[in-house]
Structure 1
Amino acid sequence: MQTKRSFWYGIAIGVLGIVLFSSKAVMVKLAYNYKVDAISILLLRMLFSFPFYVVIAYVYGKKHSNHVVERKDYVWIVFFGFVGYYLASYFDFVGLTYIKASLERIILFIYPTIVILLNKLFLKQPINKIQLGAIGLTYLGIIIAFWDEVVISGTDTYLGGFFILLSAITYASYLVGTGWLIPKFGVMKFTAYAMLVSCVCVFIHYGIIYKTNLFSFTWEVYVLGILIAVFATVIPSFLVSASIKMISSSNFAIVAGIGPISTIILAAVFLNEKLTLLQLFGALIVIIGILFVSIKKSKA
């Protein structure tokens, strides 16, 4: 009975974590209404997240690992923090200046297929026919949803889609590259270290371009920055990790399917975004394809 209760509790916190993660794009789009640029809102996200990850790094940094951690492992953390959190986040925020939040989530959702392709390219891991078919199905859905948006919104959609695709590729590269590194540090410690690297990268980026004064925004922008940092970054990262631990990664792959759906709903409520029937059909194809790929990958 306890196991069953824990399973459904894991499902519930997984759903909450995914919905909170999905709210990020919506809140970023809301912030753009106040004439703030991508690097500025990204700076606020990292600035307000920074103290949480400092505390996490301090607490978990005291715990000893059973694995031997070498100096070069910390160099890899810097690299993956730069690629997986800084670049991926920056590309995502820039892409959101050009396309809908709902379309952004649909494109980002394809990262598991990129993981499989990168594993094939660099680690020589085989791709079976079922996975190949599911990947093809996923990209067919992207083409359907994306092409219809180009017809409606114009060629800026290409640029936005390109940046979101770059975000998905860099995040997938992070996942592929860190598979051997995370066990050495542990999930919490590694994530905190990588996020701190990302924060520093954003601080440097902002310091170099310095287009706007950090204290010149309206109060709504700061509120949204805090909400993005706490409720769309820090809290869901813990919820998702706990959910995977409780229900397994294969079951979580099914739960993650609500990500694009929740973003579409939130974008409709708060941004008045509406997807056409063709785009909704494309989104459904993407979700089915990704779920199939994720479940098969988890069972492999």
Structure 2
Amino acid sequence: MVAGAHDRRDPRGAQRGQERSLITAQIILDSRPTLIGGLLVAAGAVLLAAKGLFAKHLYVLGLSFNDVAAIRSVMAVPGFALLAWLYQSRSVAPAGHGLARNDMLLAVLAGLICYYLGALANFYALTIIDASVERPLLFAYPIFVVLISTVVTRKPPSPRVLLALLLTTFGVILVTDALRTELSASEWSGMAWILFCALSIAIYFLISGELTQRLGSGLFTLIAMTAAAIGMAIHYQFAEGWENIDLAEAAWWTLIALVVFSTVLPLFLMAEGVRRVGAAKASLISTLGPPATALMAYELTGEILSAGQLAGIGLVVIGVLALEIRR
């Protein structure tokens, strides 16, 4: 009798088990795009964080900020073209959407603002101020994203976004030891250039969040970076002259590493991440960059992290988790 009763209860128990399994599977499938998008942005931010280390090494090798900014931008175009072709061949771009003129112009504008004007400002500022001042100012751009979004949408950010913004911003300041830095008169100029670069990154994030939905991250990034490269090429011809380039072999290899690992690949990862999670979340997730820079500097140069820097890394991670974990 017990066995028979157990057998009669099995169909309903099995059905309930199947329903729970289906619900669990659906939850996983629904959350997977957001999770993958967050991981893509985080990976891109870590790779981009090495840009300053590459730049400082190239300055030691005798390159100017114009050399680094322009050659990097022009060398990156073939890589973006290749990745855009791969994206297109795998049907990553949204189907059924042609290249509208306004979309193309907005992508060009985003590239010129962020990766022409913003990149020039960033590389120039690195010749004036120390990286410990540059990093927290540069990664303050989520503040600009939130402020611009608030003005455009006329909707205040949620308490969770404000908490995440506060935690990540303060964490970045601690990680980079900015609170202990005394600025000279010349460094105030460098700070202003970095803040301009941070604003340009915020504008790029907001524009890309709209256009990657329609164009796909591959095509959008290719258009934006090609526009920036054209601007850089023209600028460099007037500032230095392409015919005057004379670099050592070590400089060329360092530039190639900068282009591949800290320009092309991370920007595609971040563009795809923005498409999946949106500009506001992506901008905050990308604040993982400064802690990553501090850790890489520790590994490469033996720089010892202070207790405050370790606390800052923890705050950034907590801020990202506060943003990503659903209520």
Match of 1:217 in 2: 247
Q: Does 1:38 align with 2:57?
A: no
For structure 2, list consecutive stretches of 5 or more residues without a partner in the other structure.
1-24
The 2-side partners of 1:107 and 1:124 are apart by 26
Match of 1:260 in 2: 290
Structure 2 residue corresponding to 1:47, chosen from 58, 69, 74: 74
The 1-side partners of 2:297 and 2:252 are apart by 20
Asked if structure 1 preserves the Cα contact closer than 8 Å seen for 2:107 and 2:207, the reply is no
Distance 1:170 1:273, change over 3 A: farther
Q: What letter corresponds to residue 129 of structure 2 in structure 1?
A: I
Matches within 5 A, 1:70-89: 70-89=100-119
The 2-side partners of 1:267 and 1:234 are apart by 22
Asked if structure 2 preserves the Cα contact closer than 8 Å seen for 1:83 and 1:170, the reply is yes
Distance 1:227 1:108, change over 3 A: same
Match of 1:146 in 2: 178
The 1-side partners of 2:113 and 2:286 are apart by 23
Match of 1:96 in 2: 126
Shifted more, 230-239 versus 57-66: the winner is 57-66
Distance 1:245 1:178, change over 3 A: closer
Q: What letter corresponds to residue 230 of structure 1 in structure 2?
A: V
How far off its partner does 1:171 sit? Answer: 0.9
The 2-side partners of 1:59 and 1:130 are apart by 37
Shifted more, 76-85 versus 9-18: the winner is 9-18
Shifted more, 225-234 versus 182-191: the winner is 182-191
Match of 2:212 in 1: 182
Asked if structure 2 preserves the Cα contact closer than 8 Å seen for 1:138 and 1:285, the reply is no
The 2-side partners of 1:213 and 1:272 are apart by 39
The 1-side partners of 2:250 and 2:180 are apart by 33
Match of 2:155 in 1: 125
Q: Deviations over 1:71-119 (max 9, x none)?
A: 2322222211111322222222122223333543333222222111011
Q: Does 1:205 align with 2:231?
A: no
Matches within 5 A, 1:153-192: 154-192=184-222
In terms of Rg, which structure is larger?
Answer: 2
Distance 1:285 1:112, change over 3 A: farther
How far off its partner does 1:221 sit? Answer: 1.8
Shifted more, 43-52 versus 130-139: the winner is 130-139
Identity %: 24
The 1-side partners of 2:132 and 2:59 are apart by 15
Distance 1:14 1:184, change over 3 A: closer
Asked if structure 1 preserves the Cα contact closer than 8 Å seen for 2:150 and 2:157, the reply is yes
Q: How many residue pairs get matched?
A: 292
Match of 2:18 in 1: none
How far off its partner does 1:60 sit? Answer: 5.5
The 2-side partners of 1:156 and 1:274 are apart by 28
Shifted more, 224-233 versus 89-98: the winner is 89-98
Structure 2 residue corresponding to 1:195, chosen from 216, 225, 236: 225
Asked if structure 1 preserves the Cα contact closer than 8 Å seen for 2:114 and 2:201, the reply is yes
What SS does the corresponding residue of 1:265 show, helix, strand or coil?
A: helix
What SS does the corresponding residue of 1:150 show, helix, strand or coil?
A: coil
How far off its partner does 1:283 sit? Answer: 4.3
Asked if structure 2 preserves the Cα contact closer than 8 Å seen for 1:17 and 1:240, the reply is yes
Distance 1:111 1:293, change over 3 A: farther
RMSD: 4.0
What SS does the corresponding residue of 1:181 show, helix, strand or coil?
A: helix
How far off its partner does 1:281 sit? Answer: 7.1
Distance 1:29 1:150, change over 3 A: same
Asked if structure 1 preserves the Cα contact closer than 8 Å seen for 2:136 and 2:290, the reply is yes
Asked if structure 2 preserves the Cα contact closer than 8 Å seen for 1:22 and 1:232, the reply is yes
Match of 2:14 in 1: none
Distance 1:134 1:183, change over 3 A: closer
How far off its partner does 1:184 sit? Answer: 2.1
Match of 2:9 in 1: none
Match of 1:28 in 2: 55
Q: What letter corresponds to residue 55 of structure 1 in structure 2?
A: L
Distance 1:166 1:295, change over 3 A: farther
What SS does the corresponding residue of 2:49 show, helix, strand or coil?
A: helix
How far off its partner does 1:127 sit? Answer: 2.5
